[in-house]
Structure 1
Amino acid sequence: MKFGGSLISSIDFPEKISLVIFFAGCPLRCPYCHNPELLKNGKDIDVESIKRKISSSKDFIDAVVLSGGEPLFQEKEVEEILKHAYSLGLKTKLDTNGIYPKKLNSIIKYLDYVSLDVKAPFTKYKEIIGKNVGSEVKESMKILNKSKVYLECRTTYVPKLMTKNDIVKIAKEIDCDLYTLQQFRNETVLDPYLKNIEPPKVEELKKIAKTVKNIVKKVKIKTIEGEYTI
C-alpha cells in the first residue's frame, strides 16, 4: 500500500485515543488541500506491517482512524485494515471525500464513524474544487444515512473561494449527525494563490455556524485555537 504516515491522536476520534493511519494518493486536487504531500507520494509498505502496528498498539488505543489523501483510493487495503481492527474490538473511523460511494458501501459494515468532506454545494463542486463529483458525494451521504454509522459532514470555509451563502446551502442539502465548519489555514496549500488569503476569524466562523444551527442537527467549528460546539 501507499503509506503516508501514522500518529497517535486524542482528537481524531471524539473521546477516543486513536491510531491514525494516513493513506497516500487522491484523485482530487482541491486548491486548499492541507496535505498536498500525500496526493501522489507515499511509502510502499506491506499492509501486514500496518496490521502488526495496530496489534502492538491495541492496549493503549480505543480506535483506528483511516485518513489521507483519500483512503478509498486503496480500497482493498482499507478493507483488510478495518477487518483487522474490528477483530481486535477497536472502534473504526474513515475520513473520506465521498467520491467512491460503491467502495464505501462495500466496507460500511466495518465502520463506526465517518467524516465526510462536503466541499461545496453539490451542484458547485466543479466551480469550487475543479471536479464535478457532487453527485457521488451526495450518494455516499445517502448510503451512510441508511446505516448505523455516525456521520459527520465537514466543510472547510475558504474566503473568496466560497461564500457564506454556500455554507447555508450546504447545510440545507446535508443530512448528518454533526456538521463541522473548519477554519481554512493558508500555511500549506496546493494552490499558491491561497497563501495570500487570510483565514477566517473565529468570530466569523461562529457567526456562520449560528446561522446554520437551526438547519442541521448539531454544528461545531474547528479552528487552530480549538473546537467549539455552537
Structure 2
Amino acid sequence: MGTGEILKISGIVDLSTIDYPKHASAIVFLSGCNMKCGYCQNYETITTNISEMTAEEVFNGMDLMFAESLVISGGEPTLQPEAVLELAKLAKEKGFPVKLDTNGTNPDLVEKLVLNNLINYIAIDVKAGFDNYEKITGYKKEIKEDILKIIDICKKAGVFVECRTTFIPELMDESDIGEIAKTVKNCDLYTIQQFDIEHAYDKEMEKLKPISEDELLSLGKLAKNYIENVKIKTLSSEIPII
C-alpha cells in the first residue's frame, strides 16, 4: 500500500449527507463493474467517465472541510483492490471512518480491510433472489457464499453490515425478498429500495410499472420476519419498519 498506484476514478463528491448514516461523507466512485444491472444509474458514468490519479491526488483534490468520513463506491470498487486499500488507509490516517459499497464479489478484499482495521461500515447490494441473479445482473458465478462470508467476517469484527436490494417490478417478486432476507438475516440492517425508473441505464426499464410505497412497506414487513432492522427507501424518504 501507499505505492502511488493509479486509480481509475469515475467521480468524486466532496460532501454527502445521505451515503454514510449519521456522517457527512466524501465519496469516491471507482470505475468499472463486473455486473450490468439494467436499473443502474451510474453504468454509463463508470464505464466512460474515467480519470486516472493516485490516492494522494484524490485526497488532495477534495474539499474535506465538512466531510467526516469516506465512502468508497462505484461501479464495483473491489475490482481495484489496491485502490480501495490505499484510499481506506489514507482516510484512516485522517481519522475518517470508512464505508465500502460493494456487490459482494470480493470477500478476500473485505477480509484484508477488516484485518487491517481499515473499514467501519459495509453496504452489500444483494441484487435478487439467488436463482434470479443472472437475469438481473448478467453475473454468471455463484454469489451467495461470498455474501455470507462477508457478513460473517464483518460481524465477528464488529463492522456494521447493511444489505440492500433495489426492487425491480416485473423482474422480481416477494419470493426474492423472502429468500434474500432468510439468507442475510445476520446483517445489521436490510434496506429495500425503490427503483428509479427515470435514471435507469436500460431504457426498456422505463416501461416497467413503478412500485408504490404501500407495496414497498409490504415487502419490508415480509423481510422483518427474518431481520430485526429493516427499512424501505423511496426516492424521497426512508421509513423504518416497526
Q: Name the TM-score class by shorter chain.
A: over 0.9
**Percent identity for Structure 1 against Structure 2:** 37
* Root mean square deviation, CA, Å: 1.6
Q: Would you say 1:150 and 2:160 are equivalent positions?
A: yes
2:178 to 160, 168, 171: 168
Q: Do 2:190 and 2:231's aligned partners in 1 also have CA atoms closer than 8 Å?
A: yes
Matched, 1:46 2:47: no
User: Does structure 2 retain, via aligned residues, the 8 Å contact 1:186–1:199?
Assistant: yes
Equivalent AA in structure 1 for residue 163 of structure 2: C
Which residue of 1 is the match for residue 121 of structure 2? 113
Superposition misfits of 4+ residues, deviation over 4 angstroms: none
Q: How far, CA to CA, are the matches of 2:12 and 2:59 in structure 1?
A: 12
Match of 1:217 in 2: 228
**1:95 and 2:101 equivalent?**
yes
- Which residue does the alignment assign to 1:124? 132
Partner residue in 1 for 2:195: 184
How many Å apart are 1:45 and its aligned residue? 2.1
Secondary structure of the residue aligned to 1:40 is helix
Give me the TM-score of the superposition, normalised by structure 2. 0.88
Contact residue 163 and residue 187 of structure 2 kept, 8 A: yes
Q: CA deviation at 1:68?
A: 0.8
Q: Which amino acid in 2 is paired with 1:106?
A: K
The answer for the alignment partner of 1:9 in structure 2 is 16
Tell me if 1:64 matches 2:75. Answer: no
Contact 2:10 2:29 in 1 (8 A): yes
Determine the C-alpha separation between the residues in 2 that align with 1:154 and 1:193. Answer: 23
Q: May I ask how many residue pairs the two structures share in their alignment? A: 228
Whether the 8 Å CA contact 2:161–2:187 is kept in 1: the answer is yes
Give the deviation of 1:166 after TM superposition.
0.9
**CA distances 1:126-156 after superposition (whole Å, capped 9, x unpaired):** 2432223423333323322322110000000
Instruction: Show the counterpart of 2:4.
Output: none
Is 1:82 equivalent to 2:98 in the alignment?
Answer: no
Look up the match of 1:201.
212
* Counterparts in 2 of 1:159 and 1:170: CA distance versus 1, 3 Å: same
In the alignment, the residues of structure 2 paired with residue 51 and residue 35 of structure 1 have an alpha-carbon distance, to the nearest angstrom, of 22
How far, CA to CA, are the matches of 2:45 and 2:143 in structure 1? 22
Report the AA paired with residue 107 of structure 1: L
- SS across alignment from 2:201: coil
Residue 183 of structure 1: CA displacement?
Answer: 0.4
Structure 1 CA distance for aligned equivalents of residues 119 and 41 of structure 2: 25
Cα pair 2:76 2:102 within 8 Å, conserved: yes
Moved more, 122-131 or 151-160: 122-131
CA contact (8 A) 1:121 1:134 kept: no
**Aligned residue in 2 for 1:140:** 150
Q: Is the 8 A contact 1:121 1:173 kept in 2?
A: no
| 2:37 paired residue among 30, 41, 53 | 30
Deviation at 1:160, TM superposition (A): 0.9
Q: Is the contact made by 2:177 and 2:222 (CA closer than 8 Å) also made in structure 1?
A: no
CA drift at 1:122: 3.0
Letter in 1 for 2:108: K
